[in-house]
Structure 1
Amino acid sequence: MILLHFSKPRARVRARLLPLSLLAVLGGCSGWHGTADERQINTLLLKVLTADGRNICVDSGARGEPLAIYRDMLPAPEPARRPLGWTAPRPLDPGRNLSGRDLIGSELQGEHVVLPERPSLQGQLSVVDQGQLNGYANRASLLETSRPVRLAETADAPHARVRWWGWNRLTSSCHPVYTVSRTIIVDNVAFVSVTAAHQGSTYAFRRTGTAWAPYAKWSTWLY
């Protein structure tokens, strides 16, 4: 009787498959997850964020409400809201990248870290567009979206590296890391927020027929 022993070949197969599966998870290779509108909007967002040719790293999982900061500013006193507004869409300029460890270390050494605020109203939209966007944003800020959305790399935005959030923070090649909120759509206008290196902003997109296009960028905030 002949005995066939397969344990070693199977072990070798498992050894080959494990790194491949691990790379798939770390690289965020599981693909897009969301509606066709969300996919189109997030592709456009990645193109806007890299329009200056900058290479960026983006978390693959979208999380957070896109208009949380906007909603928080609605009841603010008029002087605080006066500098806020919508401008032509452009990349988010994260400026100086400081980790939590950097901030704590500076405070322990008696250093006061100041993050420069970016001018917000360069290329300000018309009064009509401002009013329309504020109207849509006011409505959208009252809505909630909890459906999971996952981004993926696209040839349309080759400078955006989209990966699992843990891998982005384990590698030293990704600083700062961009985080994208979930998308919310009201009629033919969509809103998505982006944060990176203690700065954030909200982007608006407008739909004509079935095609979306970048519409505006809200004021940059610090966090």
Structure 2
Amino acid sequence: MATASKKAVALAAAALVLTSCTHLADGHPVASQDLLAAAKSGELKCNPVDAPLVTVPRVDADEPTIRIPQPPGWERVEGRDTDLLRYTMTNANLQNGNFKPTIVIALESVADAMTPDEVFAAQRKSIATLGVPESAMKTENITICGLPAQTVNYQIPQMGVLQPHPAIALFVAYRSELRTYCAGLTVQTTAPDNLTYKRDSEMMVSGFQVLPVKNP
């Protein structure tokens, strides 16, 4: 049982690698002064949530500050961090069979200036590499802390022992003086009707924060 569970988690992580802010540089860079202005704005507004916020460790001084709500039962998975995947949490209380709901936060950047639409199109292209046609993705443009963002609901196809299951991806476009960033998260489960998962995943997506370094 433990071996199967480890395999399921590994496959889930592989899926998240493919759908969390990858291939950002595939678009054609253009000026994005509006995005830079949004990142500098002193009127950034984040959604309040009824859960403590954890701050994702930064690797570079130019990176934005990223925070995410941590509802009860969600614990950090140590040893998973990479240059791309910055923070992983699972909830053992919501385990379904051999799979625990998982959320992964990612951050990628390029030196080129890009528009939010280009950033989001690159992310949807990454999801498509899983075998998910864009026509099967449900997208919604929103704002996160005053920044342009997009949510994508889609179905992850079967991967080895891991059965098809739904996922939600959130991508936030951010521009510093030096780089264009995509801050994002992907949350997935094999029990999407679980009311606690629904509540927690909605909280983590809506309460996600991306802030300029000057507002840690």
TM-score, shorter chain, exceeding 0.5: no
Structure of higher RCO (CA pairs closer than 8 Å, 6+ residues apart): 1
Greater share of helix residues, 1 or 2? 1
Greater share of strand residues, 1 or 2? 2
TM range (shorter): under 0.3
Please give the TM-score of this superposition, normalised by the length of structure 2: 0.27
